[in-house]
A and B are shown apart, each in its own frame.
Chain A
C-alpha cells in the first residue's frame, strides 16, 4: 500500500508540474503540444548534471543543480515554440509535434554521441545516475519520500498565487482570453506570451527530470517520455486550466498510472489475472473517458492557438 501511495505521489508530481506548465502557456494564448519534447530535454539536462557531478557532492548540491539544469534546458528548448508561435505565427500544433519528434531524436543523437566518445563500444542511448539519484530520496519507515513531491507542492502554491493574486498572472490570462483588449490597455501581448511559454518550459523541464528519476536510476533516451506530456495535457484539460483542480486530476491520473507498477503486490488485483497491458493502457483509457465527459463545456482560454497580430481586429 505504501508502495502504491509512493508511486502515485511521484507520478502525480510529474503530471502536476507538466500540466501546470501547459496551463501557463495556454493562459497566455499559446497551445503547447510540445511539452513531451520539453520534458525530454529537461530530463537530459538534469541527467547530465547527475552524471557529471562528483560522487562526493552533497545531496543538496545534487538536488539544486540538477533542478536548475532541467529548468534552464527546458526553458531554452521552449524558445523554439515561442519564436515560432509568437514571432513567426506558425501553426502551433505542427510546431509542437515537431518539437516532440525533435526532442527524442536530438536527445538520442546527443547521448549516443556522448556515450561513444567515452567508450567506442557503447552505442546505447542510456544515461546512468545510480548514486546521484539517492540524493532525492528520504526513507521514512519504508515510504520513500522524494523531494520532488515537496517541490511539486511548492510550485503548485506559487503557480496559484502567480496566476490569481498578482498583476502578472491576471495580465497573462488577459492575453489568452482577449489579446486585443489586453493590448489596448498597454499590456505587451508578445512579451506576456513569451513569459507563458518560458514558464511552461521551466515546469515541463523539471517534470521531465522527475519522471526519469521516478523508480528507475537510468534512462534510455530513445524511449522519450512515453506520452507523459500528452497525459499531462489531458490532466490540464480535466483540471479546467485551474491549478487546484489540475492537482486533483494529477492525483487521480497518478493513481491509475502507478497501478501498472504495483498491481502484482495486491492480492485481489493479482488474482483477477488481468494482463499487464491492460494496466499499461489504463491511464490513457481513463483520460479519454474523462475528456469525453468533461470537454463539452470547456473553459479553455478563448484566444489559445491563434497567433496574435497587432493589425487584425
Chain B
C-alpha cells in the first residue's frame, strides 16, 4: 500500500493565504513605486526604500530600536482595530464603525484620565465599555431594525467624533487645540512600562500595551476557533436563519459580536492615548485613520488573529516609513496610498486562490495523464 500522500505545500490553505497576502503587498508596493516615478523619477527608488525600511534608515542600532519602539506603540492599537474588524467579519458583519468605536474609546479613556483623575486600568476599562456601547448600538440597529451595519457604522463614526471633540474640550490645553499632557496631569493614568521601555533605548512610550495586544489577539483566536461561543457566532455569520433554526439566539449573537468588536477598538484607543504618545486634537474634522487601517490589516492578515499581528505591524511599518520620504518631492500620504491599494487588492484574494487551485488541478491532471501514457 502506498504511503499516505502528503498535501502539496501550495494546497495548504494557510500557505495560500500567506502567498496571497504577499502578492498583495508586492503589487501594492509596485503601484506605489509607479506613482512615485510619475511624480518625480529622480528620487522614486530612494523614497520607496525609505518607506519599506522605516526605522532601518538609521545606521545607529540604538536609534533603530527607539524608532522600532515608536512603530510598535502605534501597531498595538492598529492590531486591536484589525481584531475588531476581523472578529465582526467572521460573524458576517462588516465593522467599518471600528473607527468610531476607536474615537469613543479615546474619548472615554482620556476623559477618565484627565478630568476624573482615575488610574490607567480604570481608564482602559472605560474605553472598552465606550467602544462596546457604540458597537452594541450598531448591533441592535442591525438585529432589531435591519439597518445595514456599514451605514450605521459610518454615521456613528461622525457622531462619535463630534461628541468626543466637545467632551474633551473641558480638558483642552489653553494655548493649543490639544488635550493637556497626560504624564503631567495624571501620571497614574499612563500605562506602566514595567521595564519594556528600557529594551527600546528608553522609549518611554513602549508600555505593556504591546504584549497585551498580542495576548488579546491569541485570546480572540482561541475564542473563535476553540470555544462553543465562537462556533455559534461563526454559524450565525454563515447563515442566520439556520442558526436560529438550531436554537441559537441570532439577534443576541449579532449584538454581542458588535459589542466585543467595539470593546476591542475602544481598548486599542486607550492603549495608544494612555501611552502619552500623542494628545487628542479637539478641532480635528476627520475620523482618525486607525479604524480604517484596521480593515486593511485584518484582510491582509488573511482574517486570522495571528496573521493580524504581522499585518498590523507591516501596515504601521510602512505608514511610519512614509514620514521618511523626501518632503521636497513627495508627501507622506504615499503610504496611505499604498495601504489603500493593498486593501483593494485584498478583495481579489478569493479570486487569486481560485486561480491558484485551478492551475494546481491542471498541473496534477497533466501529470496523471503522463503517467497513464506510460
Q: Does A3 contact B (CB under 8 A)?
A: no
Contact B162 A89 (CB under 8 A): no
Q: For window 325-342 of chain B, which residues contact chain A by CB distance below 8 Å?
A: 327-331, 333-334, 336-337, 339-341
Bound CA–CA A222/B286 (angstroms): 9
Q: Binding site of A, secondary structure by majority: helix, strand, loop or mixed? A: helix
Residues from chain B with Cβ under 8 Å of A97 in the complex? 94, 96, 292, 295, 343
Q: Mark A229-240, 1 if CB is under 8 A from B, else 0.
A: 010011001000
Residue of A95, A104, A108, A223 near B347 (CB, 8 A) is: A95
Closest Cβ neighbor of B327 among chain A residues: A123
Question: Is A288 touching B141 in the complex (CB atoms < 8 A)?
Answer: yes
Stretch binding the partner chain, chosen from B2-10, B152-160, B194-202, B270-278: B152-160
- A295 engages B147 (CB within 8 Å): yes
Interface centre among B285, B295, B296, B331 (most CB of A within 10 A): B331
Q: Is B146 an interface residue (CB 8 A)?
A: yes
Once the chains bind, are A292 and B147 in contact (CB under 8 Å)?
Answer: yes
List residues 154-171 of chain B with CB under 8 A from any CB of chain A: 154-159, 162-163, 165-166
In chain B between 306 and 364, which residues have their CB closer than 8 angstroms to a CB of chain A?
A: 327-331, 333-334, 336-337, 339-341, 343-344, 346-348, 350-351
B286 near A93: Cβ-Cβ < 8 Å: no
Query: Among the listed B152, B340, B343, which residue makes an inter-chain contact with A288, where contact means beta carbons less than 8 Å apart?
Result: B152
How long is the Cα–Cα vector from A162 to B347 in the complex, in angstroms?
32
A88 contacts across to B, CB distance below 8 A: 347-348, 351
Question: A222 to chain B: which residues have CB within 8 Å?
Answer: 333
Interface membership of B65, Cβ < 8 A: no
B337-A291 in contact (CB<8A): no
Does A94 reach chain B (CB closer than 8 Å)? yes
Is A56 interfacial (CB-CB < 8 Å)? no
CB distance from A278 to the nearest CB of B (A): 8
CA–CA, A94 and B141, complex, Å:
21
> CA–CA, A189 to B295, complex, Å?
30
Partner of B158, one of A89, A95, A281: A281
Q: Could you tell me how many residues of chain A have their Cβ less than 8 Å away from some Cβ of chain B? A: 50
Question: Is B159 touching A281 in the complex (CB atoms < 8 A)?
Answer: yes
Q: A105-B333, A112-B333 are in contact. Are A95 and B151 (CB under 8 A)?
A: no
| Complex CA distance for A112 and B141, rounded to whole angstroms | 40
Q: How far is the CA of A119 from the CA of B337 in the complex (A)?
A: 23
Taking a contact as CB atoms under 8 Å apart, the answer to whether A112 and B152 are in contact is no
> Is B145 part of the binding interface, using a Cβ–Cβ cutoff of 8 Å?
yes
- A93 in contact with B94 (CB, 8 Å): yes
**Residue A91 at the B interface, CB < 8 A?**
yes
Confirm or deny: B280 has a beta carbon within 8 angstroms of a beta carbon on chain A.
Answer: no
Is A273 positioned at the interface, with any CB of B under 8 Å from its CB?
Answer: no
Residues of B within 8 A of A95 (CB): 344, 347
* In the complex with contacts A287-B155, A288-B155, A280-B350 CB distance below 8 A: no
Q: Do the beta carbons of B351 and A89 come within 8 Å of each other?
A: yes
The smallest beta-carbon distance between A114 and chain B, in angstroms, is: 9
Chain A 79-123, CB-CB to B under 8 Å as 1, else 0, gives 010001000111101110111011011101100110010001001
Contacts known (A224-B286, A281-B162, A288-B141); A33 close to B344, Cβ less than 8 A: no
Chain B's nearest CB lies how many Å from the CB of A30?
A: 13
Are A223 and B141 closer than 8 Å at their CB atoms? no
- Name the one of A94, A295, A296 contacting B299, with C-beta atoms under 8 angstroms: A94
Q: Please, how many angstroms separate the alpha-carbon atoms of A149 and B150 in the complex?
A: 29
A227 beta carbon closer than 8 Å to chain B: yes
Shortest beta-carbon distance, B85 to chain A, in Å? 10
B148 within 8 A of A: yes
Q: Is the CB of B158 within 8 A of A291?
A: no
A47 vs chain B, min Cβ distance (A):
17
Using Cβ atoms and an 8 Å threshold, which residues of chain B touch A223? Answer: 285-286
Tell me whether B125 is interfacial, beta carbon within 8 Å.
Answer: no
Minimum CB–CB distance from B265 to chain A (whole Å) comes to 15
Q: Is the CB of B350 within 8 A of A108?
A: no
Question: Is B39 at the interface (CB under 8 A from chain A)?
Answer: yes
| CB pair A90 B148 closer than 8 Å | no
Q: Is the CB of A123 within 8 A of B331?
A: yes
Q: Nearest-CB distance from B331 to chain A (Å)?
A: 4
Min CB–CB distance A219 → chain B (angstroms): 13
Q: What A residues does B155 contact at CB under 8 A?
A: 230, 234, 284-285, 287-288, 291
CA distance A280 to B336 in the complex (A): 27
Please, what's the 1-or-0 string for A260-293, where 1 marks a CB less than 8 Å from any CB in chain B?
0000000000000001011011001101100111
**A98 adjacent to B347 (CB under 8 Å):** yes
Which A residues, 204 to 240, have Cβ-Cβ distances below 8 Å to chain B?
222-224, 226-227, 230, 233-234, 237
The CA of A101 and the CA of B295, in the complex, are separated in Å by: 11
Report the bound CA distance from A234 to B150 in whole Å: 11
Q: Who on chain B is nearest to A286 by CB?
A: B155
**A298/B146 in contact, CB under 8 A:** yes
Chain A residues whose CB sits within 8 angstroms of the CB of B331 once the complex forms: 108-109, 112-113, 116, 123, 125
Whether, in the assembled complex, B243 has its beta carbon less than 8 Å from a beta carbon of chain A, the answer is no
A102–B151 contact, CB under 8 A? no
Cβ-defined contact, B337 with A91, below 8 A: no
A to B CB contacts below 8 Å, 16 in the list: A84-B344, A88-B348, A101-B343, A102-B344, A104-B336, A106-B35, A113-B330, A222-B333, A226-B158, A227-B157, A277-B162, A277-B165, A278-B162, A284-B156, A288-B141, A292-B141
- Top-7 shortest CB links A-B: A90-B347, A98-B344, A101-B340, A102-B340, A105-B336, A98-B343, A112-B331
Known: A98-B340, A101-B292, A275-B166. 17 other contacts (CB 8 A): A84-B344, A88-B351, A89-B350, A90-B350, A94-B94, A94-B299, A95-B347, A99-B344, A108-B336, A113-B331, A223-B286, A230-B154, A277-B162, A281-B158, A281-B162, A295-B145, A298-B146
